[in-house]
Amino acid sequence: MLAMNYRGPYRVRVDHKPMPEIQHPRDAIVQVTRACICGSDLHLYHGMVPDTRVGSTFGHEFIGIVREVGTAVENLKVGDKVLVPFNIACGQCVFCRQGLFANCHESNSMSTAVGGIFGYSHIAGGFDGGQAEYVRVPYADVGPTVIPEGMNDEDALLLTDVLPTGYQAAEMGGIKTGDTVVVFGAGPVGIMAARCAWLFGAGRVIVIDHLEYRLEFVKKYAPCEAYNFKSMDDPVVFIKRMTDWLGADVCIDAVGSDACGNAMQTITGKKLLLQAGSATALHWAINSVKKGGIVSIVGVYGPTDNLVPIGNVVNKGITVRANQTSVKRLLPRLIEHIQNGILSPKDIITHRFALEDIAEAYHIFSSKLDACIKPVLVPNASS
């Protein structure tokens, strides 16, 4: 089968790989029909995540058709069309039982800080991902969900990560009716976080980024106020001025380790890898939120250390909430919102590539060329 093959930072290609096999009674083999490249895949692509081994196949956002099931999988049958949450979760451990499916303790041997994730380095379990024609899906009786009748495939695809992550970012913000919410980052997750902030009753939603085409998009899609930090002397002072000099009620970091906007963070975090990526967005979030406010982090950072103003977290009495998204917990509500026409996640897809064109797809997304917001890969596009 054809699969993405990581060869080192900024180098990927498509190669023939052996077909995945059932390795556990609760596995399934899924034929991928659509897969996304996620913003967090770019952290791998840029070589920022330790233990990303050459030969890995990335991809944690995908949908497909069940082609084989293990002996213990009773809820799925061959031929089912499923969306597969990016978390690999057993459903039995103490964390899964709390609804913390992203923190499953039975899906990742290599690191205790995070549960298993498809195609996200050996830190996240060493599983191959869905940027391929076929993929092994462990715990297929827990995560994969049959795509509801009538749901658009690409809406279902964005339910595997992007929409739930944006939604959980807003949820973790503990937004109260009328709150001012600032979202740092107008990438796919930031766009969804801004859109979902309204569902929680926000009174004002402000998005900060540096790419004009994304700001224009989010302004219409969310809808919200959107500003370019390149036009500001200091984004923190800008936010303070907009909020009667008190700060925002809630700040969301939807950028993570690839943030730009601060030379020191960029050099030490992205160029020299002296910290786990650049923490510029988180820095701004902590300093822009009001005293007693909430900072919600869904941007992905590496496992080592980052330079953040922790003293200000203490002095301002900020609550910091963060997690990888527990997709399964949020799916019922989000499926309902899509079916009721409240949310339309597929509208953020700007590019579709054949799997064979993966190197160009990564390059375009990584370099923000051609006004790219969300790229989708289509295996077997030519057949």
Among 19, 75, 92, 237, binds another protein (CB under 8 A): 92
Instruction: Return the number of the residue (177 or 382) whose C-beta is nearest another protein.
Output: 177
What is the identity of the amino acid at 301?
A: Y
What is the identity of the amino acid at 330?
A: L
Among 46, 67, 346, 363, binds another protein (CB under 8 A): 363
Instruction: Return the number of the residue (128 or 154) whose C-beta is nearest another protein.
Output: 128
Among 31, 46, 65, 111, binds another protein (CB under 8 A): 111
We find the least distance from the C-beta atom of residue 348 to another protein, in angstroms, to be 16
H helical segments located in 58-179: 94-97, 153-157, 162-172
Among 201, 291, 380, 381, binds another protein (CB under 8 A): 201
Residues 249 to 308 in contact with another protein, rule: CB under 8 A: 273, 294, 303-304
We find the least distance from the C-beta atom of residue 37 to another protein, in angstroms, to be 12
Instruction: Return the number of the residue (108 or 145) whose C-beta is nearest another protein.
Output: 108
Among 42, 157, 205, 255, binds another protein (CB under 8 A): 205
How many Å apart are CA 347 and CA 367, to the nearest integer?
21
Instruction: Return the number of the residue (116 or 379) whose C-beta is nearest another protein.
Output: 116
SS3 state at 35: strand
Return the C-alpha torsion angle 111, 117, 120, 123, nearest 10: 0
Among positive and negative, which fits the CA dihedral 216, 210, 271, 308? negative
Instruction: Return the number of the residue (48 or 259) whose C-beta is nearest another protein.
Output: 48
162, 348 contact by CB (below 8 A) = yes
Residues 146 to 185 in contact with another protein, rule: CB under 8 A: 171, 174-177
Tell me: does residue 40 bind another protein (CB under 8 A).
no
Tell me: does residue 128 bind another protein (CB under 8 A).
yes
Q: How many Cβ atoms from other residues are within 10 Å of residue 197's Cβ?
A: 32
SS3 state at 371: coil
Instruction: Return the number of the residue (156 or 338) whose C-beta is nearest another protein.
Output: 338
Strand 81-84, strand 87-88: pairing? unpaired
# residues contacting another protein (CB under 8 A): 89
The piece of 59-67, 76-84, 92-100, 184-192 that touches another protein (CB under 8 A) is 92-100
Token duo for residue 14: 């498509």
Phi, psi dihedral angles at 163 (to 5 degrees) = -65, -50
Tell me: does residue 230 bind another protein (CB under 8 A).
no
Among 159, 191, 361, 373, binds another protein (CB under 8 A): 361
Residues 6+ apart with CB under 8 A from 336: none
We find the least distance from the C-beta atom of residue 273 to another protein, in angstroms, to be 7
How many Å apart are CA 125 and CA 23, to the nearest integer?
14
What is the identity of the amino acid at 224?
A: C
How many Å apart are CA 166 and CA 192, to the nearest integer?
5
Tell me: does residue 112 bind another protein (CB under 8 A).
yes
Give the DSSP H or E segment for 322.
strand 319-322
Tell me: does residue 200 bind another protein (CB under 8 A).
yes
Among 46, 67, 198, 232, binds another protein (CB under 8 A): 198
Adjacent-strand bridge partners of 181? 205, 250
Q: What is the DSSP string of 130-144?
A: SSBSEEEESSTTTS-
CA 236 and chain centroid, separation: 25
Residues 308 to 337 in contact with another protein, rule: CB under 8 A: 319, 321, 326, 329, 333, 337
Instruction: Return the number of the residue (14 or 81) whose C-beta is nearest another protein.
Output: 14
Instruction: Return the number of the residue (104 or 308) whose C-beta is nearest another protein.
Output: 104
Tell me: does residue 46 bind another protein (CB under 8 A).
no
We find the least distance from the C-beta atom of residue 263 to another protein, in angstroms, to be 20
Closest CA to 224 of 212, 234, 216, 236: 216
Instruction: Return the number of the residue (109 or 152) whose C-beta is nearest another protein.
Output: 109
The piece of 58-66, 228-236, 264-272, 338-346 that touches another protein (CB under 8 A) is 338-346
Adjacent-strand bridge partners of 82? 64, 146
